[in-house]
Every structure is written in structure tokens, then in C-alpha cells.
């Protein structure tokens, strides 16, 4: 016999249900099998379809300065006005030489990085794989690549030189080239572990590595701050700097080209100038990325009047053509106007924080917590909460949201 529910309990259940619905979680009746009702599908920031989550986690890292852990735009005294219409969830503008962060938005928000994570891959693997080495590629080398991965066109059974593989990584964002180089580094698992160790050594505390190529994986995140660290570190390596700044090259051919080399252009359109995006004057280079979970991501370095800037942009929310490049161009232009004239809001040299105290720039959010992990309670994408009302009483159950089928990096 079902026990009657008192008015007090009924009101509590109604309130619990309303709270859950307001929070965007699924609410369902008790299920005899013990399987809770599935939560509704919702889009990760930048993913097509659905409403994007637009609020950063409450407890972002304060690495590099307290202001970098605060939500919203952070701009120092004396800075010119920020460009209008910036829609990216997070971005950082920094002086690569001094490490000063000139301005930022949600610098430590952990978000999917897509192929910008290949910068960390290069930081990690470039020094360890001999530049004059070559490898005859096997099917095993390419095992484990995600469905829809971007590829430069590596053919099993063919031998490739290491410089060609790196051009495949940087120019075509080739996950196939990444996997071959990872095999030369001791395998994917070892490479992922090496990348995580390298990230920690650079002070990139928001980054959690699960794949060497940036392919979507639940819990794999980085931040605009960490991407700036990866690019700044890479620029100190002459090979990294050469590869990230190469606009076009020839790549070894296979059966489809009768062994003849074929041309490849850099998918970083601010560098290559392809598909209607104008080249940026003084651009050194960087790395772009796109997946269905990450949206568009982009890291660039440029030089002007004796200054070198590093700028990172993650997930513009306006679905306009080339929006990530438009916002990158605006922020680079702003940075060259501001450098040397504005008080920094933080530093990329977290061991020696700049004076980043005081009130936030155009944002007035509360100060962030002191956790250096930067992940926050809701920092990882792909993880949600469902509230299940069971047996006449309220029970909170944490479940993993069903992951949408990821799409590999595309030319952006």
C-alpha cells in the first residue's frame, strides 16, 4: 500500500522540482528499474544547436594574479577601450617578452581546447624526437584516431621524415601526423602523460590532457591563460617557431598522387590568407582549432614596433563567418595600442606575480576562490547533473551527461 504524502513533503518535492528545472537539470518520477530519466541534451559552448553555457565557474585559478581568477573583462589603468562586440567566452592578451598580461576575459575558464592543444604536444615532443629521424608508418601508429579527425594524408607503409610530420601537424592540423610522432615518442599513453607533466611544469594548472591531438574527450580542458603559456614556450624553440609560421609547403605524396608531393596550406588563415581572411601584418604564427565541443579556438603571436604579443581566443559565441579571426585581429590591434601604456592585470610568469590587485576592469564580479586547479565545480564540459525524485522523497543523483558524438578539427 502506498503511504500518503503529507502536504509539507508534497510542497518540498514541488520546490525541489522547480529548482532543478530552473537549474537546467532533468527531473523525473521514480523508476522501478533504478535507471533515472535521461537529462535533456544541451550544447557545449560553441556547439551547433542548443543554448550555450555562458557563465564561467565560480572558483577559477588565480595563477598569475588574483584578477586573472575573476570573471569578466579585466583591464588595467591607462588602457584604451576594448574593441566592441567581443563574444569569445575567454581570451588573453599578453606581452610575450615581459610576460605581462595586458587584459583578459575569464582567463582561467577551463574549456575544450581543440587543436590548439597541439602546441603543448609540440612543446613536449619536439625536443625528444630527433629532427633527422624518419619512420615507416604502420597501421598501429594510426590506431585510436577519433572519427572525423583532421588529417594531412599519411599512408601506412610509407616512410616520412620528421620535419614533414611536423609540417603536417602545424599546417594541416593532422591528427595522423600527431599519432605517428607520438608513436616515435613511445606511444600515445606515454605522450599524454608527458604532456600533462609539461603543462604542470609551465604552470598550466587549468589543463587536463587526455588526447595528444586535442580531439574531444570528456574532461579534456585547457584555458586561454594556459594556451598563452604553450605558445610563449613554443616560440623559444626555433623549430616550433618555424613550423607555426609556415604558410604553405609540399607534403610527400602517396598512391593517390603517384608518389608526387602535393601542396598544403596552413589552416591558420591569418597566416596563410586563404578563404577570404587577410593576412595579419607582423604575424609570427600560432595554432587554430575547431571541434563541435570546443567551438573555434585560436592562439597567435605577432610582432610590431619591437613588441611581441601573444593572444588567445576561445569559443566566440557569434556564429558569424571567421568570427574567431575577426576577434583575434581586434585584440592584437588593441594590444599593440595598449602595450607599454597600461598597468598589467597579471603575468604569465606565475612565480613572480605582477601587481594585479585592486578592482576589476569592466567586470565587477566577486573575487574568485583560491584554488589553483581552475576546474571549479562545473568547469569540465560534458558533465551535468540530473535530479531524480524517487520513492516519495527527494534524492540528488549526479550523472554524466551523454556525450554528443564529437567532430574532428576542421579548417577554420
The CA distance from 182 to 114, in Å, is 17
CB within 8 A of 47, min separation 6: which ones? 292, 293, 295, 404
Residue 283 CA, distance from chain mean position? 21
> What is the full DSSP assignment across 59-80?
S---TT-GGGGSSSEEE-TTPP
CB within 8 A of 6, min separation 6: which ones? none
Residue 199 CA, distance from chain mean position? 13
The CA distance from 239 to 374, in Å, is 31
Catalytic residues, by residue number, are: 115, 118, 173
Find out whether 174 and 162 touch, Cβ atoms under 8 Å: no
**Cell output for 364:** 565587477
In three-state secondary structure terms, 110 is coil
Burial of 204 by CB count in 10 Å (0-12 exposed, 13-18 middle, 19+ buried)?
buried
The CA distance from 412 to 324, in Å, is 9
Across 256-277, b (16+ Cβ under 10 Å) vs e yields eeeeeeeebbbbbbbbbbbeeb
- Torsion angle (degrees, nearest 10) of CA 288, 302, 105, 277: -50
The CA distance from 210 to 192, in Å, is 6
The CA distance from 96 to 84, in Å, is 24
The CA distance from 37 to 35, in Å, is 7
The CA distance from 384 to 122, in Å, is 32
Find out whether 79 and 338 touch, Cβ atoms under 8 Å: yes
Amino acid at each position: 500500500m502506498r503511504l500518503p504524502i503529507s502536504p509539507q513533503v508534497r510542497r518540498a518535492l514541488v520546490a525541489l522540482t522547480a529548482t532543478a528545472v530552473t537549474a537546467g537539470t532533468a527531473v523525473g518520477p521514480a523508476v522501478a528499474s533504478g535507471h533515472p530519466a535521461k537529462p535533456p541534451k544541451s550544447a557545449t559552448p560553441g556547439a551547433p544547436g542548443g543554448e550555450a553555457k555562458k557563465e564561467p565557474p565560480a572558483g577559477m585559478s588565480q595563477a598569475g594574479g588574483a584578477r586573472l581568477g575573476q570573471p569578466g573583462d579585466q583591464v588595467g589603468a591607462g588602457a584604451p577601450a576594448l574593441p566592441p562586440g567581443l563574444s569569445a567566452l575567454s581570451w588573453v592578451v599578453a606581452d610575450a617578452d615581459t610576460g605581462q598580461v595586458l587584459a583578459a576575459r575569464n582567463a582561467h575558464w577551463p574549456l575544450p581546447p581543440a587543436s590548439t592543444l597541439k602546441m603543448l604536444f609540440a612543446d613536449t615532443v619536439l625536443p625528444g624526437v630527433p629532427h633527422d629521424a624518419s619512420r615507416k608508418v604502420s597501421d598501429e601508429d594510426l590506431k585510436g584516431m577519433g572519427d572525423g579527425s583532421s588529417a594531412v594524408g599519411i599512408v601506412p607503409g610509407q616512410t616520412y621524415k620528421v620535419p614533414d610530420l611536423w609540417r603536417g601537424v602545424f599546417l594541416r592540423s593532422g591528427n595522423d601526423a600527431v599519432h605517428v610522432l607520438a608513436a616515435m615518442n613511445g606511444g600515445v599513453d606515454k605522450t599524454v602523460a608527458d604532456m600533462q607533466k609539461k603543462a604542470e611544469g609551465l604552470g598550466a594548472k587549468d589543463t587536463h590532457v587526455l588526447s595528444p591531438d586535442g580531439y574531444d574527450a570528456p574532461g579534456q580542458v585547457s584555458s586561454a591563460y594556459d594556451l598563452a603559456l604553450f605558445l610563449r614556450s613554443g616560440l623559444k624553440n626555433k623549430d616550433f617557431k618555424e613550423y607555426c609560421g609556415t604558410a604553405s609547403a609540399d607534403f610527400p605524396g602517396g598512391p593517390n598522387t603517384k608518389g608526387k608531393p602535393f601542396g598544403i596550406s596552413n589552416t591558420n588563415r591569418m597566416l596563410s590568407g586563404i578563404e577570404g581572411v587577410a593576412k595579419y601584418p607582423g604575424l609570427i604564427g600560432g595554432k587554430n582549432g575547431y571541434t563541435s565541443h570546443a567551438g573555434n579556438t585560436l592562439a597567435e603571436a605577432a610582432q610590431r614596433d619591437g613588441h611581441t604579443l601573444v593572444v588567445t581566443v576561445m569559443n566566440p559565441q557569434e556564429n558569424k563567418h571567421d568570427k574567431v579571426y575577426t576577434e583575434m585581429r581586434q585584440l592584437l590591434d588593441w594590444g599593440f595600442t595598449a602595450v607599454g601604456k597600461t598597468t598589467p592585470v597579471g603575468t604569465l610568469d606565475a612565480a613572480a606575480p605582477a601587481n594585479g590587485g585592486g578592482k576589476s576592469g569592466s567586470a565587477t564580479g566577486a573575487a574568485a576562490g583560491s584554488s589553483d586547479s581552475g576546474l571549479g565545480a562545473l568547469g569540465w564540459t560534458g558533465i551535468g547533473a540530473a535530479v531524480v525524485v524517487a520513492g516519495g522523497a527527494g534524492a540528488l543523483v549526479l550523472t554524466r551527461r551523454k556525450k554528443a558524438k564529437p567532430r574532428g578539427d576542421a579548417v577554420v
